[in-house]
Structure 1
Amino acid sequence: MQAPAPSLEMQILSAMEEVVFSASYPELEIFYVSPSVESLTGYPIDFYKSELGAWRKIIHSEDMYIVEQALASLNNNNKFRIRYRIQTKSNEIKFVQSQGRLIRDESGNILRFDGIITDISELLFLQNVIKNESLEIKQMLLENNILFNGSQDSMFLVEVMDNGDFVIRRINTAYEKSTGVTQSLIQGKTPIDLLGEILGAPVIKNFQNALKAKSTISYEESIPMPAGTKVWTTALTPIEVDGKFKFIIGASKDITEQKRAESALKESNERYALILEVSSDGWFDWDLTNDTVIYSRRWWLEFGNDEKAENVKISYWKSLIHPDDQEWVSEFLDNIMHSQRETFEFSFQMKKRKGNYAHVLSRCHIQRDASGNKIRMVGSNSDLTEIKKIEYTLRKAKEMAEAANLAKGNFLANMSHEIRTPLNGIIGFTELLLHASLTDEQKEYLRSIYLSGKSLLSLVNQILDFSKIDSGKMELELISTDLIDLVQSTVDLFQISAASQAILLKLKLDPNLPQFVSLDPLRVRQVLSNLIGNAIKFTHEGEVEVSVKPVKVSDDIIDIEFSVSDTGIGIDISSQTKLFDSFSQADTSITRKYGGTGLGLTITSELIQKMNSHLKFESELGKGSTFYFVLSLHVNATGSVSSTLFEEKQTVPDESLIIQNDLIQNDILIVEDNDLNKRLLSKMLLKRYPNMQLRYAVDGSDAVHQFQEKKPDLIFMDLQMPVMDGYTATVEIRTLENNSKERTPIIALTAGAFFSVKDTAIESGMDDFLTKPISSADLYNAVEKWLSSSRM
C-alpha cells in the first residue's frame, strides 16, 4: 500500500530554511520541530524528542540567560523575540533569532508554545568581525576606505580616551552629505565641542551606555545639524582592544521620511498616499478584508500589466514572486499575520513587466481596527538590484584580495627558505676556507665571495622585513635608550663608507636634546641607516649631514626631528610621487647604476608610520635631498647604550684559527635531507670538535627510529623534510622520552626567517634555534651551551 502524500503544509515546512517548533508550556516538551533543524544544528529531529530539555544543550553557555529570561516572561507577555548563539554538533557557533508566542484557548488557558528560529549569522558577520578581530578590522578600514565611504548609512568612529572623554576621529561621505558637517570640522572634537553642553550630554550618555552593554545598542535620536534636523536610528558598537574598549563604531540611518510617513498614516490616508506617490519608491495598499490591492503609479509601471492598478487581487502579486522565493515568502507572511507585529520588512525577487527579475525590499505596516483586527497592510517597495550587484562585486574583490595576500605570504616564506638554503652553503664553506692556510690572493677572493653572500642575505632580509610590515606582523619594542649614543654609533657605522667615496659625513646634535628616551632602538637605527646609506649612495661629491633637534616639549613628552641631508643627485619632480612605492625607484637607470630592491624607502616609510609619524622630504634635481621625520618620545632618567643593545656584527669573518676542543666526544645526530647542508654542518663541527661522534638521519621518521635504537647526546633537527618534518619528529621523540629522567637537547635548523617558525619549533618541544646561513660562532655557542661537562 502506497503511503499518503505529505500535505502542502508539511512540504512547505520541509523546504523552508527557518526552523518551526511547537512545545508544551511551561514543561517545554517538544511536540514538533521542522526538518530544517538538522541543517541548522547538525542534530537529528529525534535528538530533540529523546529527552526533556535536550534543546538546551545546543544553546551557547554565555547566552543561556537570554533564553531563560525570555521564557520566564512568556506567561505575562505571551510572546518574545530574542537573539542568541547556538553551538552545532560540529562545534560551529551560529547566531539565531528566535520568536515565539503562547497559543491559548477561548478561556485563556495555554494550549502550546509555537515559534520559529532563523539563522542570522550572515547578518551579524560584520559585528562578529568587529568584536573578535578588532585589530584586523581597523587595518581593513584603513586599506579599504572605499567600503567605509561607499556605505549609504552615516558612519562615524569615536575613540574612548583614558580620561573618559569621547573624541570623534572619522566620519564617512554619507555622514557629511546627510548632516552638512565636514571631516575637518568634526575630527578631533568631543560631542560637547561640537554640539554644546545641552545637546552633547545625551550623545555622551548613549556612548556610555554602549560601553556598559559591551555590545551593540540601537536608539533613535534627533540632533540639529547644518543640513537640518532629522530623525536617525543609530547603532553603536564598542570595539575591544587588548582587553579594553577603546573605540565605538556608529552607524546612523536617516529615518526622517519613514517617521513622517508613519505620522501621516495616522493622520490621514490621503496624506500618506501623497507622500509615497512623490517618493522614489512604489507603494501598495492591501485591503486584508477583501484581499485586494491598490498600487502606486510608479510600481504599476514597473511590475503591472495593462489593467488598472486598483482592486487587484493579491494573487497577481504572488504570481510575480520568483519560484525560488514563493514558499518562504508565503510562510513568512503567514507567520506575520499570526503574530502581533505591526511593522516589518523583507527582501525577495519579483518579476518586472519586461520579464526580468529584480531584488525588491518591501517595508510594510499593518493597520488594525478598534477591536485589534488586522484590516489593512500598506507599504513601499525599493529596487535593490544594483545594490546586490555591488555587494557581489565587493565580496568577490575581497575574496580575491585575501587569496592574493595569502599567496604572497606563502611565496615569501618559500622564497626565504629556498634562497637561504644555498646561501648557507656559500657563506658557511667560505667561512671554513678562510680559516685554512691560503695565500693572500686566495683569501681576498674568498672575502669577496663571503661579502657577496652577506649582501644577498641582506637583500632577502629586506624583502622579508617588507613582508612582515605589509602583513601587520611587525611590532615595536619600546626601550629606554641613550638617544645621543644611538645616533652617534649609527653615524659611525657609515664613516668608512663615506670616506671611501670622499664624502664628508657630519652629525649635528642639538645641545637641548634629552639623553634618555623611550623608543625601539633597533628600528630607529634601521630607519637612520637606510636614510644615511641612501644619501651616501646617491652623493658623488660634497657632504651628508645628519641632524637631530627638539621641536616641541610638553611635560615628559618631546617631539624630536631627525633629518638626513645630502648634496647628491636629487629627485625629479615627476618621479617624487612614486618614491615610496614598493619595488620602485625614481627611474630604471638608477636601478641599473646603483642597484637595490627599491624597498629601502618603502620599509623606512612604513616603519616611521608604525612609530606614529610620517617620512617627508624636499629635493631638487642635481642639488640634493633632505629626508626628515618627527617622533614624539617619552623622556626618561636612565636607559641603555648601544653597546648593550646591539651585538655589532663584523663585516668579514674572524680568520683566526679555530681552537680545537678535544674534550667533547659526544654522540651527535644530524637530521638533514640536504647533502650540502649536511656536509657543511659536519665540517664546521669536526673543525672544532675532532673527537665528536656524528651520525645522520635523512628525515624525521629516520630520526625517530635512530633515537629508539640509540639515544644521542644532542640532535640538530632540520624543520622542512620529506616523509616527516622536524616538528612532528620532535613531538614523537618527546613522547618517547616522556618517562625518562634525561631530556635530549634538540636544536632546530631552518632557512625560514619568520618569528612564527621559531615559535612553532619551540612549541613542538625543541630547545634552541639556529637560522641558516649558520655562523660558526653561533653553532659553537649552542653546542657548548647544551653539552654540559657532566655529559662529556
Structure 2
Amino acid sequence: MQTPPPSLEMQILSAMEEVVFSASFPELKIIYVSPSVETLSGYPIDFFKQELGAWWKMIHPEDTQIVKQALDSLNQNDKFRIRYRILTKDNQIKFVQSQGRLIRDESGKVLRFDGMVTDISELLFLQDFIKNESLDIKQLLLENNILFNGSQDSMFLVEIIDTGDFVIRRINSAYEKATGVSQTLIQGKTPIDLLGEVLGAPIIKNFRNAIKAKSTISYEESIPMPAGTKVWTTALTPIEVDGKFKFIIGASKDITEQKRAESALKESNERYALILEVSSDGWFDWDLTNDSVIYSRRWWLEFGNDEKPENVQISYWKSLIHPDDQEWVSEFLDNIMHSQRETFEFSFQMKKRKGNYAHVLSRCYIQRDASGNKIRMVGSNSDLTEIKKIEYTLRKAKEMAEAANLAKGNFLANMSHEIRTPLNGIIGFTELLLHASLTDEQKEYLRSIYLSGKSLLSLVNQILDFSKIDSGKMDLELISTDLIDLVRSTVDLFQISAASQAILLKLNLDPALPKFVSLDPLRVRQVLSNLIGNAIKFTHEGEVVVSVKPIKGSDDIIDIEFSVADTGIGIDISSQTKLFDSFSQADTSITRKYGGTGLGLTITSELIQKMNSHLRFESELGKGSTFYFVLTLHVNSSGSVSSNLFEEKQSTPDESIIVENNLIQNDILIVEDNDLNKRLLSKMLLKRYPNIQLRYAVDGADALNQFQKKIPDLIFMDLQMPVMDGYTASVEIRTLEKKLDRRTPIVALTAGAFFSVKDTAMESGMDDFLTKPISSVDLYNTVEKWLSSSRV
C-alpha cells in the first residue's frame, strides 16, 4: 500500500528552520515535534517522542532554573517567551529562543502546550561582532544615520521584493514629523496597506516609473495624512544591487505652505486691486527713471485736471504743493533720495481741483533694481483736513484740562502742606503737654485742643482722598473678609456718637448672609462710615438703621444690599440733583449749621463706582433718607476679621508717661526750616532720649555742610525748604557716601501727604517717612528702628 503524500501543513512545518512542538501539560510528553529538531539538537526525532523529559536533558545546567520559572508561570499567564542555552548531542552550546502557550477548551481545561524553538546563536554572534567591530565601521554607520535622520527632507526607503510588491522599510524623523506617521505604523507595509487601493495605486505607479527610467524622477503629489492633507514634491531614486533594482530611496519636501502662499498672494493681489479702486485714499506710481507719474482715478478726481492721469510729469505734482511747504518738502525728498530708506511718510498741504488747499498724508515706498538703484516710488495720499481740525480742537481742550488739573493738584498739595505745618505744632505740643503734670481742668482743655486738631486733620485727609479718586490713583485691594464682623465693628464705632445725641443706632443683619466674602474692607468701612456718620449728623431724634441682606446669588457669587436709613431732616427734590457734586451740600444753611466739606457723599459715590456699583437714595424733606447700594461679591470658606485688618486708632490722646531710653546716645541731625517744628521735634526726642546729641540745619545746603563736618547717626530731613530741598540734599548725601564705608539713615519729614510724595522721597535715597502732624508713638518707633541699642 502506497503511503499518502504529506499534507500542505506538514510540508510547511518540515521546511521550517524553527522547531515547532506540541506537548502535554504539565507532564511535557511530546505529542508532535517538527523534523528541524534533528538539525538543532543532533538527536533523531524519535529520541524526543519516546523518551519522557528528553528535552530537559539538553538544557544547559546553568539555565534550567530559567526554564523552570517560565513553566511555573504558565498557569497564570498561559504563555511565555525566554532565551536559554542547550547542549547538542556532540556537546555544542547553542543559544535558543523558546516561546509557547497553553491551549484550553471552552471550559478552561488545559488541552496541550504548543510552542516554537528558534536557534539564535548566529544572531547573538552578529550582535557581538557589531559590538566589537572597528571604529571605522561604527563611524560609517553613525554618519549614514546622521545623513538619513539629519535631513530636513522627508526620506523613506522602499524594498522591491521578488513578488513585485513595494514594502516600506524605513522613514526618517523629518518624515514622521511632517506626516504624523510613525516608524512602527508604516514599517513593513505596502502603499496599498497604508493608504488603500485608490490612493496607493498612483504611488506604486510612480515607483514603477522610477525603475523604468533607471534614474531619479520628480513629481508633485497631494496625499491625506494623519497630520492633514499635504502637497509634496518628491524625488525617487532606484538602487541596483547585484544587477537588480532592489530598493527605492525617496526624498519628499513639504511645499504645502508654499502652495498656500502662492494662492493667497494671487487672492491678495486681486483683493488689493479692488480695495485701491474703491479706497478713499488716492495712489500714485512714480517712475524715477523718466520722472513720470501714473495716478489712480480717486486721486485724479481730487487733485488732477481735465487731462488723463497717465505718464504725468512730476512737475505737475510739485506745482500743487502749498508755497509755505515747497521748500521743506523739496529738501525732505532730496534727503530721502540720498538715503537708504525704503518706506517713509510725511504731511504737507496740497492744492485740490477746486482751488482750496488740503492737509495730505503721503505714505511712500521706494523700489530698487538688482544693483540697488532707485527706479520707482509708489504711495498713497490721504486727506487729513477734517482730522487736523479735530486734532486742533482736542489739543486746545486737552491743554485747558491739563492746566486746570495741574492747578487743582498744586492747590491740594499746597493746602495740605500749609495746613499740616501748623497742625503739627498744635497736635504735637498738645500731646507733649498731656504727658506733663497738670490739673484735670487743664487736661480737659488740652484734650479739646487735641481733638479739634485731629478733626481738622481728618478734613484735610478727606480732601486728599477725593484727589486720589479724582486722579484715578486709588486701587481696590480685595481680601477675604468676615462680612458680619466688618459691618458690626463699623457700626460699633458710632454707638457712642449716636448715644450722645439720644439717637438709637440699630443693625439688621440677614441670617442668610455669607460669613466670608472678597472685598476691600478698608474702603467698604469708609463707605459705611460716611453714610452712618451723615445719618447721625442730620438726625435730631429717632433712629438710624443699618441693614445688610442678600438679594440674589448663584454658586459662589452673591449680590448683597447695604442700606443706611435715618429719620433726619431729609432732602428736598430741588437739592437732590447736586447731592453728589464735589464741595457742595443740599444748601448753604446746612454748611453753616452742620459743617463739613461737602465731599463725604462724593467720595462715597466714587468709591462705590470703583466697586462696580452705584449709590442710590430715597428721601423726603422732614421725614428722613435712605441710602443704599448693592455689591456683587465672591463667597469664600474662610477669611480675616476686622481686628486683623485694621489698626484701630485712638479716639483720645495718649496721656501715658513717656519712659526714658538712656541707651540711645547717638548724634542726630534735624534739617528743618520751621522753628516751631524744629522745637517740637527736639522736645519730643529729648523727652524720651535725654542722652542724644542734636544738631540742626536750616536747609539742604546747610545739611550737606553739617554732614561733611561730622557724619551723624540719623538724619530727620524736611522736604520743602528754601535754597536746597530735602530731595536734592538726600541725593547729594548719598553721592558723598559712595566714598565712605557706611550709610546714614535718612527719615523724611513732610506736611505734604499727597500720594506721590513718599515715592519721590524713597527714590531720592531716603529710608523712611513720617507725615506731619508727627505722632510721638510713630516718632519713637522710627528712632528705635534705625538706632537700636547695638549701634550705641
Task: Work out whether the TM-score is over 0.5.
Answer: yes
SS at match of 1:420: helix
2:714 alignment partner AA: L
Structure 1, unpaired ranges of 5+: 1-220, 222-232, 234-256, 266-275, 365-376
Task: Name the SS for the 1:425 alignment partner.
Answer: helix
Partner of 1:391: 391
- Residue-by-residue CA offset, 1:745-770 (whole Å, 9 max, x unaligned): 33221112134322333344433221
Residue of structure 2 equivalent to 1:750: 750
Distance 1:283 1:695 in 2: 76
Tell me the alpha carbon deviations over residues 254-309 of structure 1, each in whole angstroms, 9 at most, x when there is no partner. Answer: xxx998786xx7xxxxxxxxxx9xx9999999999998999999999x9899x999
* Match of residue 322 from structure 2: 322
Indicate how the Cα distance of structure 1 residues 727 and 283 shifts in structure 2: closer, same or farther if over 3 A, else same: closer
Tell me the distance in 2 between the aligned counterparts of 1:501 and 1:408: 37
2:779, 2:296 → 1: CA distance? 84
Q: CA deviation at 1:774?
A: 0.5
Is the Cα contact below 8 Å between 1:503 and 1:541 reproduced in 2? yes
Closer/same/farther in 2, CA of residues 734 and 316 from structure 1, 3 Å limit: closer
Q: 1:788 to 1:345 in 2, by over 3 A?
A: closer
Offset of 1:773 from its aligned partner? 0.1
**1:680 maps to which residue?**
680
Q: Distance in 2 between the 1:573 and 1:619 partners? A: 8
Match of 1:717 in 2: 717
1:454 aligns to what? 454
Map 1:286-685; keep pairs closer than 5 Å: 319-323=319-323, 324-325=325-326, 328=329, 348-351=348-351, 357-359=357-359, 384-685=384-685
SS of residue matched to 1:480:
strand
Cα deviations by residue, 1:416-439 (Å, 9 ceiling, x for unpaired): 222211110111112222233334
Query: Using the alignment, how far apart are the partners of 1:774 and 1:283 within structure 2?
Result: 70
Does structure 2 conserve the Cα–Cα contact (< 8 Å) formed by 1:318 and 1:326? no
Structure 2 gaps of 5+ residues are 1-263, 365-376
Alignment of 1:21-420 (within 5 A): 319-323=319-323, 324-325=325-326, 328=329, 348-351=348-351, 357-359=357-359, 384-420=384-420
Aligned CA distance change for structure 1 residues 560 and 322 (closer, same or farther; 3 Å): same
Distance 1:624 1:710, change over 3 A: same
Q: In 1, are the aligned partners of 2:434 and 2:443 still within 8 Å (CA)?
A: yes
- The sequence identity of aligned pairs, in percent, is 85
Change (3 A) 1:644 1:741: farther
Evaluate the alpha carbon distance shift between residue 384 and residue 776 of structure 1 in structure 2; reply closer, same or farther with a 3 A threshold: closer
The answer on 1:689 being equivalent to 2:689 is yes
Q: Deviations over 1:597-656 (max 9, x none)?
A: 121111112212222222222222332222222222232333222222222222221224
Change beyond 3 A, Cα 1:259–1:585 = farther
Aligned to 1:698: 698
- The CA distance in 2 between the partners of 1:580 and 1:639, in whole Å, is 33
C-alpha distance in structure 2 between counterparts of 1:569 and 1:495, whole Å: 20
Between structure 1 and structure 2, the one with the greater Rg is 2
Report the number of matched residues: 514
Partners of 1:297 and 1:704 in 2: how far apart? Answer: 71
Distance 1:634 1:332 in 2: 62
1:501 to 1:765, Cα distance in 2 relative to 1, 3 A? same
Name the structure 1 match of 2:775. 775
* Deviation string, structure 1 residues 423-479 (Cα, Å, up to 9, x no partner): 101111122222333344433332222222111111111111111112221122222
Amino acid at match of 2:397: A
Q: Which moved more, 1:697-706 or 1:321-330?
A: 321-330
Task: Indicate the SS of the match to 1:652.
Answer: coil
1:76 paired residue number: none
Deviation at 1:694, TM superposition (A): 1.8
Which residue pairs with 1:51 in the alignment?
A: none
Which residue in 2 is equivalent to 1:728? Answer: 728
Q: 1:260 to 1:592 in 2, by over 3 A?
A: farther
Partner of 1:148: none
> Does structure 2 conserve the Cα–Cα contact (< 8 Å) formed by 1:544 and 1:567?
yes
Q: 1:285, 1:766 → 2: CA distance? A: 62
Q: Structure 1's 457 and 353: CA in aligned 2 closer, same or farther, altered over 3 A?
A: same
Note if contact 2:672-2:721 (Cα within 8 Å) is conserved in structure 1. Answer: yes
SS in 2 for 1:747: strand
In the alignment, the residues of structure 1 paired with residue 424 and residue 506 of structure 2 have an alpha-carbon distance, to the nearest angstrom, of 37
Q: 1:464 is matched by which residue type in structure 2?
A: L
3-state SS of paired residue (1:578): coil
Q: 2:300–2:309: 8 Å Cα contact kept in structure 1?
A: no
| Residue 381 (structure 1) shift | 9.1
- The 2-side partners of 1:284 and 1:705 are apart by 70
Q: Could you say which residue in structure 2 is the equivalent of 1:201?
A: none
| Separation in structure 2 between the aligned mates of residue 596 and residue 322 of structure 1, nearest angstrom | 61
What amino acid maps onto 2:625 in structure 1?
S
What is aligned with 2:212? none
Indicate the larger mover: 464-473 or 281-290.
281-290
SS, match of residue 491 in structure 1: helix
CA 1:436–1:362 in 2, change beyond 3 Å: closer, same or farther? closer
CA distance in 1, matches of 2:331, 2:719: 60
Secondary structure of 2:523 counterpart: helix
